Amino acid sequence: MRTPSIMIAMLCLVMAVTACSSGSSNTTDKKNGAVSTSSNDAAKKAEQAAEGTAKTVDMVRVAGSDVGYPSPFAFSPSGPFGYLRNSLIFDTLTWKDDSGVIPWLAKSWEISTDGLTYTFKLEDGVKWHDGEAFTADDVVFSFNYYKTYPFNWNGDIAQIKSVEKIDDLTVVFHMNNSYAPMLSDLVGIVPIIPQHIWEQVTNPIEYRDEKALVGTGPYQLAEYDAAAGQYLFKANENFFKGQVIVKELAFVSASDKLLALQNGEIDAAYTTNYGDVQTMVDGGYKSIKSEPAGSIVRLSFNLEHPQLSDKRLRQALAYAMDRAEISSKVSGAEPMVGNAGVVPTDSPWYNKNVKQYEYNLQESERILDELGYVKNEKGIRDGLKLSLMTSSNKQDSIMIQEMLKKAGIELNLVHLDSAAFTVALGENKYDMVLSGHVGASGDPDFLRLWFSGKASNMWSARGKSLDLEQFHEIANLQMKEMDETKRHEYINQLQDILAEELPTLALYHRPFYHIHNPKVFDYWKNTYGGIADGMPLWENKVFLIDVKQ
Amino acid sequence: MSNNNKYWSYFLVLLFVIILNFWLPRFLPGGPVEYIAGGGEEGAVFLTEAQKAAMLEYYNLNDSLGEQFVKYVKGIFTFDFGLSISHKAPVFDVIMERLPWTLLIVGLATLFSIVIGLLLGLYSAWRHPSRVDRSLFLSMLCLSSIPEFLLGMILLITCAVKLKWFPLSGAKTAFLRSDGWLASVLDIANHAVLPALTLTIGSVASLYLLMRNESIRVKQESFIEFSSAKGIGPRAIVMKHIARNAALPLVTLIIIRMSGLLAGSILVETVFAYPGVGKLLQEAILGRDYPLLHGLFLLMTLFVLLLNLFADLIYPRLDPRIRHDVNRGEVA
């Protein structure tokens, strides 16, 4: 009796969610210059079906730690969790679910043909947590406020020229140039804050009044223990997007997440260790693999290094590494070898025809000999001594060292802690760098960002020195291209260039796994392209809500 | 004169620590912004140069080191260390939120290690030489050689993971729904057992060893023999004569141990994920949170210095011989 009712509820949820997202996908296939989104009939039916059958859950406890006070200015920007806590309280114009971008505070939008103007129709009757009405003024105010006091997370506000209020429920965004990732990576990330509260605040980072947490979101912060890193969120009963299924959402710090799950102290956690997943699944827990994988482990070459500046050497190194072996040994799961063109192989933007570097020791040795790095009597190429710097991927680096030894290359490993690592990156003090991070599964604009030299952190690995006019030109073209097919072509070309030049070598992708107790809550799902700017995680508010429309 | 000298030396130590406190964290490679940019496995912010500059500006990290130092010194006198970079809240508040937890486990550990160490030491000395004394002595020697973090892990694995007697980590159950205060007190006590026990075991041995040796020494003094000859019972001899006379050097040791316990709390809190200042310090070092590091180091230094000062002041009152020495010195 119980299982079928859950099944029905789930089905309704899926229907509702897919229905409303099919509405949003209308925006992309524009025909007569501008196309608007609206919820269709199927969605309404799904909504009616969903109502009444949705089963509420009293409390779900998720493993977490202290990621700061969840106001848009005070959450911790190291790692995605600060942003995710904040996203429970504050809403954005668009959001993402398992099928892609969906309407959120904006119920529909129109895009001009040149991609320079976005007109958003806002949801009617949305109330802030303190009872005030949400209007277009708040949207205009938010984007202006962030110009003075930057938002704590990604979202390139500089792309917006101005935001204009048409009436209480309509806003127009004027862009500096057309910007393809606008819906997913800009208005889908930057939260709207209430004007009536923040207009008086001049020190937003230190602002700790309870008004700092007045949003429109599905949750309100009920308790926060900074010392222990615990959060308790209570459902907002008047949430505009539908009924909140999980009435209380707690984030509980656990020193060992698996043990805490087994002891019933928490109901969900994530891991990157496949062995843990197997143990837990055998114990009756359910697991979800992040799709797309989301994280990337990659090697970046210092292109200013006298030897590594030769792309043939970089290619020889690529041939010498058995990346499938590293992948399967480290993650314990099916290997997922990186694409030489960087975009993960499970991404819709992946170019299948890109040059790849299969493990081929002979080929590697041939190139190395050709380059004049001759082996001595001990089988070591004297002229080639390289170092590999890493901060968190120690295991991988040791395997790489062993593999390169077979090709006669001596590798010196340098392990640094996170801060020291970033400094060395910034000062270009390395030969090769091994880093693992997320961000490769969202909008493909990341290719431009990584290699544009604008970033100051490990995402870029100082791609500044990627001295290729052609790459940067295409990278800018794809950013401004509003036509999806044309954009695909550009992205394909970018991958070709990257695969040939190899400024970075994607070793493999390491999926994250979500483990949860299905008896407590079983609606967890992957988000299309990752939450916000591609977080391969599951704390997406949309799955905690019985979405209307 | 000598008293003045003593205060001077305290002052110099404090001054030295204040200076070191500023420079030491800055000798570590990388600063707070780099830590934020690093982000770790789950991802980092895509930090542009402009955002980085804004952050440096906001936390006054782009001022010259001289300016930063002046600000820091001013901050010490006004008790305002600025804003913690990783917590985005005043350093004072951040520390105050965690200090009670550390005081709880350090306080418990101090209390228990004193009571247990002294009683066992006395008992051991009383039974000296015998098999009981010997085995106690040896087992205490063994205990004192185990580092605290190892001890903590052993206790964690046996008592929390295998036997499930105590919780794995934290200082209290998250969002405990209970009716009375008793339940929450029990909950907190339950969480404090393992960390406090680890600290107690780590420090009980040295107290025991000193107490035992002192008592054995006192026991061999002639006045003990005399009181024994007077017909005073063994219990009275131990409690009234031996314990009292042996306790003197212990005062100093106890105070030194208290500062040791505070240092030990850094390791123990990390093992048990206990939200005290020790764990905070560890996080602050990793995050290169300069203002927070200043606050924490200063707090710990002051704690140790004040304890030492207290020992210096109280000792002459407990031991008249020292008081006399000092007086004689002043006259001469």
Note the pLDDT tens digit of each residue in B53-77: 777 777 777 778 888 888 888 888 8
More confident residue, A419 or A19: A419
pLDDT of residue A528: 87
Cβ pair B254, B208 in contact under 8 A:
no
- In 3D space, the residue among B311, B77, B283 whose CA is nearest the CA of residue A78 turns out to be B283
**pLDDT tens, residue by residue, B174-224:** 777 766 778 888 888 888 888 899 988 888 888 888 888 888 888 888 888
Q: Do A79 and B275 touch (CB under 8 A)?
A: no
> Which residues of chain A make contact with B276, given a CB cutoff of 8 A?
227
A143 confidence band (pLDDT: 50, 70, 90): very high
Residue written as token pair 């695969």: A499
Amino acid at A227: A
Contact B37, B51 (CB under 8 A): no
Distance (Å, whole) CA A233 – CA A248: 6
A533 and B46 in contact by Cβ < 8 A?
Answer: yes
What mean pLDDT do residues A431-442 have?
83
- CA of A215: how far to CAs of A128, A206, B48, in Å? 5, 18, 27
Report pLDDT for B21: 85
Average pLDDT, chain B: 81
Report pLDDT for A176: 93
DSSP string, A370-415: HTT--B-TTS-BTT-EEEEEESS-HHHHHHHHHHHHHTT-EEEEEE
The closest CB to that of A259, out of B86, B168, B275, belongs to: B168
pLDDT attached to residue A108:
94
DSSP codes joined into one string, A439-468: -SSS-TTHHHHHHSS-B-STTTTTGGG---
8 A C-beta contact, residue A459 and residue A418: no
CA–CA separation, A528 and A519 (whole Å) = 25
pLDDT at residue A160, rounded to an integer: 93
Interface touch A255/B88, C-beta < 8 Å: no
For residues B332 and A156, give the distance between their C-alpha atoms in angstroms, rounded to a whole number: 78
Residues from chain B that touch A436, judged by Cβ atoms under 8 A, are 41
The pTM is what? Answer: 0.79
Phi, psi of A545 (to 5 degrees): -125, 145
pLDDT at A354 exceeding the cut of 70: yes
Taking the C-alpha atoms of residue A386 and residue A323, their distance in angstroms, rounded to an integer, is 19
| Tens-place pLDDT, residues B274-295 | 888 888 888 888 888 888 888 8
* Structure token digits, residue A304: 């200013």
Q: Can you tell me the mean pLDDT for A297-308?
A: 87
Of B44, B52, B272, the CB nearest to A78: B44
> At residue A457, does pLDDT exceed 70?
no
Q: Is the pLDDT of residue A425 over 80?
A: no
Which segment of A120-134, A458-472, B246-260 scores lowest on mean pLDDT?
A458-472
Mean pLDDT over all residues of chain A?
84
Q: What is the mean pLDDT of the segment spanning A246-267?
A: 88
> What are the φ/ψ torsions at residue A132 (nearest 5 degrees)?
-70, 155
Can you list the alpha helix ranges (DSSP code H) found in chain B? 2-27, 32-38, 49-58, 65-78, 91-126, 131-145, 148-155, 181-219, 222-230, 234-236, 243-271, 277-286, 290-318, 320-331
Pairing of strands A57-64, A94-97: unpaired
What average pLDDT does range A457-470 have in this prediction?
59
Bridge-based pairing state of the strands A286-289 and A432-438? unpaired
Starting at the earlier edge strand, list the strands of the sheet with A295-301: A410-415, A385-390, A432-438, A295-301, A504-509
Contact A456 B49 (CB under 8 A): yes
CA-based torsion, A73, A74, A75, A77: positive or negative: positive
Confidence of residue B322 (pLDDT cuts 50, 70, 90): low
What is residue A19's predicted lDDT score, i.e. its pLDDT? 40
d(CA A459, CA A504): 11
Q: How far apart are CA B269 and CA A430, in angstroms?
A: 36
d(CA B161, CA B176): 21
Check A458 against B273: CB less than 8 A apart: no
Q: Note whether A392 contacts B40, CB cutoff 8 Å.
A: yes
User: Which range (A253-267, A285-299, A460-474, B303-317) has the least confidence?
Assistant: A460-474
Give strand ranges (E) for A213-369. 219-225, 230-235, 242-244, 246-253, 268-271, 286-289, 295-301
- B34 and A459: CB-CB below 8 Å? no
In this prediction, residue B4 carries a pLDDT of 74
The burial class, CB within 10 Å (0-12 / 13-18 / 19+), for A300 is buried
Tokens describing residue A512: 């994250």
Among B28, B36, B90, the residue with its CB nearest the CB of A78 is: B36
Q: How many CB atoms lie within 10 A of CB A350?
A: 18
**In this structure, are residues A536 and A308 in contact, taking their beta carbons and an 8 Å threshold?**
no
Q: Which pLDDT does position A264 carry in this prediction?
A: 85
Q: What would the mean pLDDT of A535-541 be, rounded to a whole number?
A: 90
Q: For tokens 């405990």, what's the residue? A: B176
Exposed/middle/buried for residue A120 (C-beta within 10 Å: 0-12, 13-18, 19+): buried
- List CB contacts (< 8 A) between A272 and chain B: 41
From CA B153, how far away is CA B170, in angstroms rounded?
15
Q: What is the distance between the alpha carbons of residues A135 and A125, in angstroms, rounded to a whole number?
A: 9
The CA distance from A53 to the nearest CA of chain B, in Å, is 29
The owner of tokens 């890109």 is A354
pLDDT cut 90: percent of chain A above it = 47
Q: Which two tokens stand for residue B260?
A: 């040791």
- Residue found by looking up tokens 């949170």 in the block: B289
Determine, for residues A439 and B46 on separate chains, whether the beta-carbon distance falls below 8 Å: yes
Q: From residue A348, give the alpha-carbon distance in Å to each of A355, A479, A491, A542.
A: 18, 17, 11, 22
CA–CA min distance A407, chain B (Å) = 29
Residue with more model confidence, B212 or A21: B212
Rounded distance between C-alpha atoms, residue A249 and residue A236, angstroms: 11
Tell me the pLDDT band of B258, cut-offs 50, 70 and 90. confident
Mean pLDDT of A205-229: 91
pLDDT of residue A232: 94
Q: What integer pLDDT is reported at residue A235 of this predicted model?
A: 95
Reply yes or no on whether the pLDDT at A27 is more than 60: no
| A389-416 tens-digit pLDDT | 888 777 889 999 999 999 899 999 988 8
The predicted-structure confidence for A153-197, as pLDDT tens digits, reads as follows 878 888 899 999 999 999 999 999 999 889 988 999 999 999 999
The identity of residue B105, as a single letter, is I
